């Protein structure tokens, strides 16, 4: 198994980016990623209103798969998804189903324990980990990681979970 850490972060899928890793077809790669906010929120002192919005929805890579060809099909199997011990839940004015109840951004930090988000001592919510951003370099111009398309991108699809195979 080859490992790649989240220090190799990209914010757009771009055919001109130099690969940070080359792997043979069929190799298993363990990838450490950043969260959707690029790990900019680590505690209550970090305000959502102050993050760098150009540094959200990151991907780790790029990874060059030996033998892959432009226009070909790349098969990726998601073996497992491991989570950090903390997560954040964020909302704000006019965001989401309760956005009308907020006048500003609100962030709540939660522990992750035993496959659940622990909101507080009374509420734990089961998790369904998924891959939010995954893709390949498009033929033409770079595409921001937050934009979904035929290249992949920010899909936020709960089906892209452990056990899923993407083509």
Going through 6-151 in order, the beta strands assigned E by DSSP cover 9-10, 12-13, 21-24, 29-31, 59-60, 63-66, 76-77, 86-91, 106-113, 116-118, 124-126, 133-135, 143-144
Q: How far apart are the first and last CA of the chain?
A: 21
Question: Given this model, what pLDDT does residue 138 score?
Answer: 93
Domain match, 54 and 89 both: no
Domain match, 9 and 36 both: yes
Distance CA 153, CA 165 (A): 16
Instruction: Indicate which CATH number applies to the domain containing 92.
Output: 2.40.10
Domain match, 60 and 139 both: yes
Domain match, 120 and 157 both: no
Question: Given this model, what pLDDT does residue 71 score?
Answer: 87
For 92, the domain range is: 83-128
Q: What is the mean pLDDT of each run of 10 residues along the chain (167 residues)?
A: 90 96 96 94 89 94 94 94 93 89 91 96 96 94 95 93 96
Question: Given this model, what pLDDT does residue 41 score?
Answer: 94
Domain match, 76 and 156 both: yes
Domain match, 90 and 73 both: no
Question: Given this model, what pLDDT does residue 92 score?
Answer: 87
Q: Which residue has the tokens 């432009």?
A: 70
Question: Given this model, what pLDDT does residue 9 score?
Answer: 95
**Number of domains forming the structure of the chain:** 2
Domain match, 65 and 136 both: yes
Question: Given this model, what pLDDT does residue 143 score?
Answer: 97
Distance CA 71, CA 80 (A): 27
Instruction: Indicate which CATH number applies to the domain containing 25.
Output: 2.60.120.580
Q: Can you give the pTM of this predicted structure?
A: 0.86
Strand-pair partners of 22: 64
Question: Given this model, what pLDDT does residue 70 score?
Answer: 87
Domain match, 103 and 156 both: no
Distance CA 132, CA 145 (A): 10
Write the DSSP string, 12-38.
EE-TTSPPSEEEETT--EEE----TTT
Domain match, 104 and 24 both: no
Distance CA 99, CA 84 (A): 27
What sign does the dihedral 118-114-164-78 (CA atoms) show? positive
Instruction: Give the number of other CB atoms < 10 A from CB of residue 93.
Output: 12
């Amino acid at each position: 198994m080859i490992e790649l850490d989240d220090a190799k972060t990209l914010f757009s899928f771009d055919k001109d980016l130099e690969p940070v890793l080359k792997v043979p077809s069929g190799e298993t790669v363990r990838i450490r990623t950043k969260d959707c906010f690029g790990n900019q929120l680590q505690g209550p002192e970090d305000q959502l209103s102050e993050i760098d919005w150009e540094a959200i929805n990151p991907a780790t890579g790029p990874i060059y798969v030996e033998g892959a060809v432009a226009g070909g099909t790349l098969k990726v199997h998601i073996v497992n998804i491991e989570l950090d011990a903390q997560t954040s839940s964020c909302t704000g004015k006019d965001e989401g189903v309760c956005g009308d109840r907020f006048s500003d951004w609100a962030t709540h930090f939660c522990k992750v324990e035993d496959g659940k988000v622990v909101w507080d001592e009374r509420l734990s919510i089961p998790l369904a980990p998924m891959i939010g951003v995954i893709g390949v370099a498009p033929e033409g111009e770079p595409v921001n990681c937050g934009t979904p398309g035929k290249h992949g991108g920010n899909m936020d699809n709960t089906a892209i979970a452990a056990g899923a195979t993407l083509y």
